[in-house]
């Protein structure tokens, strides 16, 4: 049975029907303001892709995808999404987006290899996937920070809107988000693992962006792994530090832990992708159609990421379990334990 945190004193701020209304309110408000802050247009996205295109993401490169066969296409295999990082960049090119413009979409994924179904993790993933074209001179750390600050500003706007609508849920985000590199985080807490480091820095500052995820740290470990062909985690930034990507983390008192809201970053160019593929022994991927387009200069330079929809609603509505804001499948024992503790899963 996965680890499950049940607080005997927990009581949802909202009933089931009001929770459903609040979920819609939060999603509508956040996506409209995100689109305004980053100059994004909503587009339609697929639920699945044909296998072998190289477009579907590999996340950490080891997770199995949910697959099925299409009868009227010669029983060709299709696979459910993991995320849309590569697909979005392709669409930016094919739809004729310009520099400074971008897109966002609803991404729904199934991740059957999720190892720890708990308060925060589900096999069903729903997020806003967004992507925006950047100029070559914007592929730097300061531009990354500026985009993070804009997103954080929308988070604070949304929290204020929830407070106005539901006074029983007061704001708790700090005024500003703190930036820290994963290498410095290792230096600050050398005796702890990556998750514990995140917990400590988030408890201290309330909202943190951890920079540089996917590359090797000074002690030979990684803060977390990333696929080699979407985020740029190899390019040097400052003081020997590497990485133009990171995670937005918030402190969540109900669970007494860091709460990841978004994984994002400046995407690889041809040079950095080849370096990262080589490091991960994945150079064969450069023969896939999407990778050939990138190397041929047919795809724009971009920045992008995913922002968890259920995570966001869970945070702003102060829910104890992500199943209170999304309909998914859970172990029978977990369902029974939650019901016994007054945690009503959708």
Which residues form the catalytic set? 57, 111, 127, 247, 260, 263
Tokens describing residue 306? 């995913």
User: C-alpha dihedral over 119, 85, 197, 257, to 10 degrees?
Assistant: -20
Convert 113-147 to b/e letters by CB count within 10 Å (16 or more is b).
Answer: eeeebbbbebebbbbbbbbbbbeeebbbbebbeeb
Helices and strands, counts by H and E, the chain? 9, 11
Q: Among residues 52, 119, 114, 37, which one has the least CA distance to residue 307?
A: 37
CA distance from start to end of the chain: 20
Which residues lie closer than 8 Å to 49 by C-beta, 6 or more apart? 55, 56, 78, 79, 81, 87
Phi, psi of 7 (to 5 degrees): -95, 115
Can you list the alpha helix ranges (DSSP code H) found in 189-308?
194-205, 270-279, 289-295
Helices 141-165, 16-38: axis angle to 10 degrees equals: 150
Q: Among residues 91, 85, 34, which one has the least CA distance to residue 56?
A: 85
CB 232 within 8 A of CB 245: yes
CB 206 within 8 A of CB 250: yes
CB 16 within 8 A of CB 160: no
Beta bridge partners, 231, equal 267
Q: Among residues 248, 235, 17, 87, which one has the least CA distance to residue 153?
A: 248
Convert 4-19 to b/e letters by CB count within 10 Å (16 or more is b).
Answer: beeeeeeebebeeeeb
């Amino acid at each position: 049975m996965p680890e499950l945190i049940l607080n005997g004193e927990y009581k949802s701020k909202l009933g089931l029907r009001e929770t459903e209304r609040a979920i819609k309110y939060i999603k509508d408000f956040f996506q409209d303001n995100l689109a305004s802050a980053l100059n994004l247009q909503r587009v339609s996205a697929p639920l699945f892709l044909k296998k072998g295109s190289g477009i579907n993401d590999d996340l950490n490169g080891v997770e199995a995808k949910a697959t099925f066969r299409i009868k009227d296409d010669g029983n060709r295999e299709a696979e459910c999404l993991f995320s849309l990082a590569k697909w979005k960049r392709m669409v930016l090119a094919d739809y004729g987006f310009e520099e400074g413009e971008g897109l966002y979409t609803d991404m729904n994924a199934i991740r059957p290899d999720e190892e720890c179904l708990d308060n925060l993790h589900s096999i069903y993933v729903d997020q806003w996937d967004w992507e925006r074209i950047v100029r070559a001179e914007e592929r730097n750390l300061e531009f990354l920070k500026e985009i993070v600050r804009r997103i954080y500003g929308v988070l604070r706007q949304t929290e204020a809107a929830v407070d106005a609508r539901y006074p029983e849920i007061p704001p708790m985000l700090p005024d500003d988000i703190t930036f820290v590199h994963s290498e410095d985080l290792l230096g600050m807490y050398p005796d702890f693992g990556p998750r514990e480091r995140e917990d400590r820095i988030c408890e201290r500052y309330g909202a943190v962006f951890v920079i540089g995820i996917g590359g090797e740290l000074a002690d030979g470990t990684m803060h977390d792994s990333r696929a080699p062909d979407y985020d740029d985690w190899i390019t040097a930034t400052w003081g020997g530090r590497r990485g133009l990507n990171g995670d937005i983390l918030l402190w969540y008192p109900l669970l007494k832990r860091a709460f990841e809201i978004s994984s994002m970053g400046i995407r690889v160019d041809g040079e950095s992708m080849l370096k990262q593929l080589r490091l991960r022994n994945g150079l064969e991927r450069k023969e896939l159609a999407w990778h050939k387009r990138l190397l041929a200069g047919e795809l724009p330079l971009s920045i992008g990421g995913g922002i968890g929809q259920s995570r966001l609603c869970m945070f702003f509505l102060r829910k104890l379990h992500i199943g209170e804001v999304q309909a998914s499948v859970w172990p029978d024992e977990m369902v029974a334990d939650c019901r016994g503790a007054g945690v009503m899963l959708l």
